[in-house]
Chain A
């Protein structure tokens, strides 16, 4: 493994409270030293990071790479390149693949696909219930032993609360993290847009915020009952932020994230029927967006995820309610985080922490920091470099992003994963 010298960048490492211009030295796949030059260090790779920011590689709590089962949408090959080019060094894969990640064999297949793609730091999230059907528990312990980092029922709601209670109890027995996107199946009513003025005007089936907040409230009660460690993903509304705040204050072991696009878009953006904005949970109101931003700034929501969902073109070609929800969002993750900083919603340190230190903490991983001895996952980016979201600058197989054609600011120049340079921007 090579020795890498990342030279004279602004190092921002929130976990170690570092924010200074300096050097990062990597050897043997690990962080060897930050700022102080080690003795006898002869780098075989030097990365000039002058004028750039050097931070821990990003950890994404919710990604879909579509394999196995839907390689027409995306592949490990295409999406790991996209992840590397976005500064993301660790991916957590949602279990709603085909077949579902609910047996050790599928978890092992994921690991194999990751190795083959040259991007080993992919953690499968196992199904909370078998086939995500919400009726029988998955073999959580075997799945954990096969490398699954958490359990989740992805987009499928567990409709029966007794089953959810037992799943949480069982997960807690094996110290497994349960990840939940709260959504009451019945209140969601197969909707496709926020139940608000826009859905009313356009006759779109609405999803009320109560579909999220009621499910969240139920889950919080079950956390209290079972002592299970739960992370809530992709929250979308004001009252969810308030509920998480209250739960934490009460002392529950919970954490929560928000998908990056929820911090920038609202129900108005879907007007009139733009399927690139079709996403679940749906974009809600300005007020909700404001609370999500404040939740992030105050630490109530500790992480940002990409909620990356690449699609083939056909998935988005149709009348809005008939199109598939989801955005290809790995590659816009950093510029959209930087936009929050530019708009003074959060500080740069908070933005970086919400993509590295904090998700690492959620997952109990020794990553997300430039701590000496940790695996050397590093992202080097130019915060001022502007680029257009277009085919020439895009790596994901899914071009389903509402930001297509826009010029965004901030671009990754180098990504190091466990001491290997997995991405360099060719200028």
Chain B
């Protein structure tokens, strides 16, 4: 089961594949360790020797700029040797299987894989089949999980709101296709948020969304009431061609976050977005760049969270 594969026999993090199966204590530990790294961003020498001599391979089977860059920076700041591969355009297009790619890289004495893949379950599959000394960090698999994104969001929320227990959080947009939302919901529920609310049309919600532990609203104007944290999700263009939505403009009219709608939430509500944002589709520029937005803070925090997770996963080998 999930918790067994992610944790070693002492209950320490070995792989980081999903939030599911990790308890509040462990999630808090990730946040605390990230906290200790956050000060480094302002230092002249932004490096610690925690993972010196370790080799980390970023395996990106799907394109990404932000996630890949922050993972790369995180690894470098931990003094690891890091190699980033965009496999979307290399071996798999030559017909090589996922497992063959992994086996080949294993043969090059790698210590950790950071994996992004378009198919749900890919990171689990790699963790199940890779050599026992190798750690796997999920950098997003299909529609399943994006646990480091969720944790950097939790980190950002904690920085501003301190405590989760009184927080009402709204996640707005394409929940159906969002690995970020699934991980956020699990993290918020594990950390004890008062309420997680999802706001979207039915076409963008998974069939049994309530089973994730959320309240559901189809109306942004009523749904934003009493909300402390607003998380907007990116809307992919292809949702229009697959008949999930009629048009971008109608979506923006119903679910786009504007200054007016933001006023419905609590006055000190913060606005988050995992990026990249579609201005004028899910969020108005005035809100994205406004005083309540913490979108760029999320990006900075991404490095510290990824450093924390990498350091913890390597801890089993005596790195920390």
The interface of chain A, by Cβ under 8 A from chain B, is 195-197, 199-206, 208, 271-273, 314, 317-322
Q: Which 9 A-B residue pairings sit nearest by Cβ, starting from the closest?
A: A203-B143, A273-B121, A203-B144, A197-B211, A319-B122, A319-B119, A200-B206, A320-B121, A319-B121
- Give the A-B pair count, Cβ closer than 8 A: 79
Expressed in whole angstroms, the minimum distance between the Cβ of A219 and any Cβ of chain B is: 24
Residues in A with CB closer than 8 Å to B1 are 271-272
B182 contacts chain A at the CB level, 8 A cutoff: yes
Residues in A with CB closer than 8 Å to B142 are 203, 319, 321
Closest to B142 in A: A203
CA distance A76 to B232 in the complex (A): 56
Can you list, as one digit per residue, whether each of B95-131 has a CB less than 8 Å from chain A (1) or not (0)?
0011100000000000000000101111011000100
Residues in A with CB closer than 8 Å to B179 are 203
* B208 and A273 contacting across the interface, CB-CB below 8 Å: no
* B124 and A273 contacting across the interface, CB-CB below 8 Å: yes
* A319 and B141 contacting across the interface, CB-CB below 8 Å: yes
Residue in B125, B182, B208 whose CB lies within 8 Å of A319 = B125
B207 contacts chain A at the CB level, 8 A cutoff: yes
* B120 and A203 contacting across the interface, CB-CB below 8 Å: yes
With A318-B99, A319-B98 as known contacts, state yes or no: A204 contacts B207, CB within 8 Å: no
Residues in A with CB closer than 8 Å to B145 are 203
CA distance A197 to B207 in the complex (A): 8
Q: Which interface residue of A201, A204, A271, A320 has the most chain B CB atoms within 10 A?
A: A201
Residues in A with CB closer than 8 Å to B208 are 195-197, 199-200
Expressed in whole angstroms, the minimum distance between the Cβ of B127 and any Cβ of chain A is: 10
Residues in B with CB closer than 8 Å to A197 are 208, 211
* B211 and A200 contacting across the interface, CB-CB below 8 Å: yes
Expressed in whole angstroms, the minimum distance between the Cβ of A151 and any Cβ of chain B is: 33
Residue in B2, B18, B125 whose CB lies within 8 Å of A318 = B125
Expressed in whole angstroms, the minimum distance between the Cβ of B10 and any Cβ of chain A is: 21
CA distance A206 to B18 in the complex (A): 20
9 interchain pairs, CB-CB under 8 A: A196-B208, A200-B206, A200-B209, A203-B120, A204-B121, A204-B144, A314-B97, A318-B119, A318-B125
Q: Tell me the count of chain B residues lying within 8 A, CB to CB, of chain A.
A: 29
Residues in A with CB closer than 8 Å to B5 are 272
CB within 8 Å of A: which of B115-159?
117, 119-122, 124-125, 129, 141-145
B26 contacts chain A at the CB level, 8 A cutoff: no
B20 contacts chain A at the CB level, 8 A cutoff: yes
* B119 and A322 contacting across the interface, CB-CB below 8 Å: yes
Residues in A with CB closer than 8 Å to B88 are none
CA distance A82 to B159 in the complex (A): 62
* A201 and B182 contacting across the interface, CB-CB below 8 Å: yes
B212 contacts chain A at the CB level, 8 A cutoff: yes
Q: Which interface residue of B5, B119, B142, B145 has the most chain A CB atoms within 10 A?
A: B119
Expressed in whole angstroms, the minimum distance between the Cβ of A11 and any Cβ of chain B is: 45
CB within 8 Å of A: which of B63-96?
none
CA distance A43 to B318 in the complex (A): 73
* B120 and A200 contacting across the interface, CB-CB below 8 Å: no
CB within 8 Å of A: which of B1-53?
1-2, 5, 18, 20
Since A201-B20, A271-B2, A272-B2 are in contact, a sample of 5 more A-B pairs with Cβ atoms closer than 8 Å, ordered by chain A residue number, is A205-B143, A314-B97, A317-B125, A319-B117, A319-B142
Residues in A with CB closer than 8 Å to B117 are 319
Expressed in whole angstroms, the minimum distance between the Cβ of A386 and any Cβ of chain B is: 26
* B121 and A206 contacting across the interface, CB-CB below 8 Å: no
Residues in B with CB closer than 8 Å to A196 are 207-208
With A271-B1, A272-B1, A319-B141 as known contacts, state yes or no: A202 contacts B97, CB within 8 Å: no
With A318-B125, A321-B142 as known contacts, state yes or no: A204 contacts B120, CB within 8 Å: yes
CA distance A201 to B143 in the complex (A): 9
Can you list, as one digit per residue, whether each of B195-216 has a CB less than 8 Å from chain A (1) or not (0)?
0000000000011110110000
CA distance A322 to B207 in the complex (A): 21
Expressed in whole angstroms, the minimum distance between the Cβ of B96 and any Cβ of chain A is: 12
Residues in B with CB closer than 8 Å to A321 are 119-121, 142
* B182 and A203 contacting across the interface, CB-CB below 8 Å: yes
* A318 and B98 contacting across the interface, CB-CB below 8 Å: yes
Residue in A200, A208, A272, A317 whose CB lies within 8 Å of B124 = A272
Expressed in whole angstroms, the minimum distance between the Cβ of A103 and any Cβ of chain B is: 31
Expressed in whole angstroms, the minimum distance between the Cβ of A283 and any Cβ of chain B is: 15
* A200 and B121 contacting across the interface, CB-CB below 8 Å: no
* B121 and A272 contacting across the interface, CB-CB below 8 Å: yes
Residues in B with CB closer than 8 Å to A206 are 206-207
Residues in A with CB closer than 8 Å to B121 are 202, 204, 272-273, 319-321
Closest to B21 in A: A272
* B207 and A317 contacting across the interface, CB-CB below 8 Å: no
Closest to B211 in A: A197
Residue in B122, B124, B141, B212 whose CB lies within 8 Å of A201 = B212
Residues in A with CB closer than 8 Å to B212 are 200-201
CA distance A195 to B143 in the complex (A): 14
* A208 and B207 contacting across the interface, CB-CB below 8 Å: yes
With A318-B98, A318-B99, A321-B142 as known contacts, state yes or no: A273 contacts B120, CB within 8 Å: yes
Residues in B with CB closer than 8 Å to A317 are 97, 99, 125, 129
* B120 and A320 contacting across the interface, CB-CB below 8 Å: yes
Can you list, as one digit per residue, whether each of B208-234 has a CB less than 8 Å from chain A (1) or not (0)?
110110000000000000000000000
CA distance A319 to B124 in the complex (A): 8
Expressed in whole angstroms, the minimum distance between the Cβ of B178 and any Cβ of chain A is: 8
